[in-house]
Amino acid sequence: MTTLQTYEIHGDVALITIDSPPVNALGYDVRKAIVDGFEKAAGDSGVNAIVLTCKGRTFFAGADIREFGTTQKSPVLPEVISTIESSPKLTIAAMHGTPLGGGLETALACHYRIALPTTRVGLPEVHLGLLPGAGGTQKLPRLTSVEAALDIITSGRQVKSEEALSLGILDKVCSSEDLVKEALGYANDLVADNAPRVLVRERNDKLAEHKGSAEIFNTFRSKNARRFRGFLAKENITKAIQAAVELPFEEGLMRERELFMELMESRASAAQRHVFFAERETIKIPDIPKTTPVRAIDSVGIVGAGTMGGGIAMNFLSAGIPVTMLEQKQEALDHGISVIQKNYQRSVKSGRMSEAALESCMSLITPSLDYADFSTVDLVIEAVFETMEIKKAVFSSLDAVVKDGCILASNTSYLDINEIATSTSRPQDVIGLHFFSPANIMPLLEVVRGEKSDLEVINTGMRLAKTIRKTPVLSRVGWGFIANRVMKFRSLQADSLVLQGINPETIDKVIYDYGFAMGPIAMKDLVGLDVIGRGSTELTVDSELVSMDRLGQKKNGGYYDYDENRQRTLSPIAMDLIKEVAAKKGVKQITADEDEILARLLYPVINEGAKVLDEGIALRSSDIDIACIKGYNWPVYQGGPMFWANTVGLDNVLNKLREFEQQYGDAFTPSPYLEKLVAEGKEF
């Protein structure tokens, strides 16, 4: 018996408790400990029931993802499950925290399930590009319904206790916080009542109505076709649930296994598993020990109530943190606050927020026209016009009024935080907090560390991200920081390809087929061509379109024309303009197939990522992946640019860049760091 398991007897109930921090993942030791416990209880004639529970923050949060891709030692999870299912005693899972994936599948092997009211169960394997591979796809529809199982497993969402009870996943929700006491009491009651041993695998009642008809699955597929695009796991989950309906349990299980193994070997799952760990890695900063203090952020000031300031404010309001919003003019302030209200109202309308929550968020805003109102706040974020002089003036005004220890943050996208910090007497308290538009929605927060930023201030910025439900990525100071800088190279190539005669529609299609929601040209039309080209005097297709008052989707169309349903067709006017601009600039026309176009668009992003790493702007290549995924919706199943580059082969990327450099010049000159990695046979 291992030390991570305790076995106690309470009357005629055996209580098996597993304690394997942080999340009781079902690695080899844990699996062995469960089997040991159940075997012991099976041989114990005084035991009539077994309660399986966990210590720490959660009941098993799933299989141990770190073991994936290695040969797993017996007992593997299906063996654990079959040990539980074949137990001669009555079995009860007592759950708290987040019983997920293999954790919930373990619970589904028990006869009964009880949980705390705060418990959230789920089968989130889809987020790892997988499906529940230990019976989840066969059992959940048997317990709930085919509809519910399709929804829960393809979304991977966490289901709160109350809903789980109503769906039949749980049999009982505790009325107190004492899970073990209630579970033991429940076990006693079940034994006393001679309760039946309910094995989910034997239930077929919920499946009967769909047997012999694929209708529910076909409708589900076509309804979600766009959202599921590129996600093989979602298709395989649908197939596995269909197998649950059509096949006897054991055969369904075998089908589930086949579909699981197909996913496990897929590049998409490898990418999504990379992203799972990469997301959790960003917070780890080598020179900031775990013990570094975090400053309390209980109130926030925001300078600027424009689109960015308003979006940033919403993150804090939604987290229950009061915000003082400053503007120069009452009119601008009123407008900014009314936009926040409208955004929240939209959420209320769509049912994502209650009217009461809206009221409570709005009540946390204090409008202000006076810097002095920032005297007590813990953090100020500046979101004003992107010029150095204005930013410095704002920071110097802040310096004059804020209390000692207040963190001063700039939301600048491109400017030098070190220079901004010189306008204050406290550069140690200055950092960048770079949000991505729309700031209330995009999950990336780049935390920019200045030369003089205090470690405590950086740490606070990184931790704050979790409070406002963002993923932080640390960046050093440098033009565009990480995401904007590397992604700029895709835009430059998109413009260049257009001028070289590649159809804009083809460029958009190539990027869409790669997995982005939208191509770069359609994206320009969405953002607004006037916004994109602001301040530039260069002759470009964008500037020519703007001079014709074609601003994109918002006015007269741009590269595309739009009908009343926002369906787009390539604009003949734009096509003529492209030819004119290309002729004026003397751009040589080319042809290129889709692979070539993809490489032209995305290899420069990888190359710039290599430079960002070489310059120490990003800590690690996986941080660049996360910045692109969370800031630019880089398709998660490609793993981000740097992970993708590894799968393409860095030597292939390098050779292609060299070829492009020969044909098209400096824009493709390979980073010396990339060359070095290839020479050493290494990866990012």
- Residue 535 neighbours by CB under 8 Å, 6+ apart: none
Site for ligand 3H9 in 54-73 (CB under 6 A): 58, 61-66
- The minimum distance between CB 303 and ligand 3H9, in angstroms, equals 32
Site string for ligand 3H9, 71-90 (x = CB under 6 A): ------x-------------
CA separation (Å) from 183 to 172, 173, 301? Answer: 9, 10, 47
Cα 656 from chain centre: 31
Give yes or no: 39 in active site: no
Tell me the window of 101-109, 110-118, 501-509, 608-616 that interacts with ligand 3H9 (CB under 6 A): 101-109
Q: Which parts of 150-209 interact with ligand 3H9 (CB under 6 A)?
A: none
Closer to ligand 3H9 by Cβ: residue 96 or 172: 96
In three-state secondary structure terms, 520 is helix
Whole-Å CA distances, 57 to 28, 31, 62, 313: 20, 18, 13, 31
β-bridge pairing 5-10 and 300-303: unpaired
CB 131 within 8 A of CB 153: yes
Dihedral of the alpha carbons of 628, 632, 636, 638, in degrees to the nearest 10: -70
In this structure, what token pair is assigned to residue 118? 């705060």
Does residue 100 belong to the site contacting ligand 3H9 (CB under 6 A)?
yes
- CB nearer ligand 3H9, residue 77 or residue 184: 77
CB of 243 to ligand 3H9, least distance (A): 16
Q: Does 101 bind ligand 3H9 (CB under 6 A)?
A: yes
* Of 15, 16, 25, 173, the one binding ligand 3H9 by CB under 6 A: 25
Residue 203: CB minimum distance to ligand 3H9, A: 20
Among 491, 498, 483, 489, residue whose Cα is nearest residue 532 = 491
Least spacing, CB of residue 27 vs ligand 3H9, in Å: 7
* Comparison of 5 and 269: residue with beta carbon closer to ligand 3H9: 269
Whose Cβ is closer to ligand 3H9: residue 159's or residue 499's? 159
Q: Which of 105, 182, 256, 446 does the annotation list as catalytic?
A: 105
In the complex, least distance from residue 130 CB atom to ligand 3H9, rounded to whole angstroms: 6
Contacts with ligand 3H9 in 113-152 (CB under 6 A)? 124-125, 128, 132-134, 136
Q: What is the DSSP letter of 386?
A: S
Q: Residue type at 112?
A: Y
Spatial contact of 132 and 99, defined as CB atoms under 8 Å apart: no
The nearest distance, CB 101 to ligand 3H9, in angstroms, is 2
Distances in Å between the Cα of 624 and the Cα atoms of 70, 278, 684 are 27, 10, 11
DSSP state, 475?
E
Cα 190–chain centre separation: 42
Q: Establish if 23 lies at the interface with ligand 3H9 (CB under 6 A).
A: yes
Q: What is the Cα–Cα distance from 56 to 37, expressed in whole angstroms?
A: 18
Alpha-carbon distance 214 to 612, whole Å? 50
Closest CA to 242 of 225, 266, 218, 261: 218
Shorter beta-carbon distance to ligand 3H9: residue 5 or 58: 58
C-alpha–C-alpha distance, residues 314 and 439, integer Å: 8
Rounded least distance, CB 74 to ligand 3H9, Å: 13
Point out which span in 19-27, 267-275, 557-565, 667-675 binds ligand 3H9 (CB under 6 A).
Answer: 19-27
Contacts with ligand 3H9 by CB under 6 A: the residue count is 24
423, 400 contact by CB (below 8 A): no
Least spacing, CB of residue 132 vs ligand 3H9, in Å:
4
- CB 84 to ligand 3H9: min, Å: 14
State which amino acid sits at residue 565.
N
Amino acid identity, residue 103? G
CB of 128 to ligand 3H9, least distance (A): 6
Residue 398 in the binding site for ligand 3H9 (CB under 6 A): no
Residue 138 or 413 with smaller CB distance to ligand 3H9: 138
Of residues 125, 327, 446, 608, which has the active-site annotation?
125
Binders of ligand 3H9 among residues 401 to 430 (CB under 6 A) are none
Q: Is 125 a catalytic residue?
A: yes
End-to-end Cα distance, the chain: 42
Residue 102 near ligand 3H9 by CB under 6 A: yes
Site map 559..598 versus ligand 3H9, x via CB under 6 A: ----------------------------------------
- Kindly provide the b/e burial profile for residues 568-605, where b requires at least 16 CB atoms within 10 angstroms of the residue's own CB: bebbebbeebbeebbeeeebeeeebeeebbbbbbbbbb
Look-up: residue for tokens 């590894």?
Answer: 646
DSSP, res 110: S
Residue among 53 and 571 whose Cβ is closer to ligand 3H9 = 53
Pick 132 or 557: Cβ nearer ligand 3H9: 132
Number of H helices, E strands in the chain: 29, 18
Choosing from 53, 91, 98, 646, the residue that interacts with ligand 3H9 (CB under 6 A) is: 98
- Measured in whole angstroms, the distance separating CA 632 from the mean position of its chain's CA atoms is 12
| Contact stretch for ligand 3H9 (CB under 6 A) within 17-25, 33-41, 211-219, 434-442 | 17-25
Nearest residue (CB) to ligand 3H9, 79 versus 451: 79
Interface with ligand 3H9, residue 236, by CB under 6 A: no
483 phi, psi to nearest 5 deg: -65, -50
User: Nearer Cβ to ligand 3H9, position 59 or 395?
Assistant: 59
Structure tokens that stand for 659 in this block: 């070829």
Determine, following the binding rule CB under 6 A, whether residue 623 of this chain makes contact with ligand 3H9. Answer: no
- How many of the other CB atoms lie within 10 Å of CB of 328? 12
Task: Write down the least CB distance from residue 131 to ligand 3H9, Å.
Answer: 7
Instruction: Write the interaction track for ligand 3H9 spanning residues 274-293; mark x where CB under 6 A is met and - where it is not.
Output: ------x-------------
Q: Which of 105, 525, 608, 623 binds ligand 3H9 (CB under 6 A)?
A: 105
Cβ-based nearer residue to ligand 3H9, 85 or 125:
125
- Structure token digits, residue 374: 């920032």
Q: Which stretch binds ligand 3H9 (CB under 6 A): 41-49, 96-104, 418-426, 482-490?
A: 96-104
Pairing outcome for strands 120-121 and 112-115: unpaired
**Which residues are known catalytic residues?**
105, 125
Q: Which residues bind ligand 3H9 (CB under 6 A)?
A: 22-23, 25, 58, 61-66, 77, 98, 100-102, 105, 124-125, 128, 132-134, 136, 280
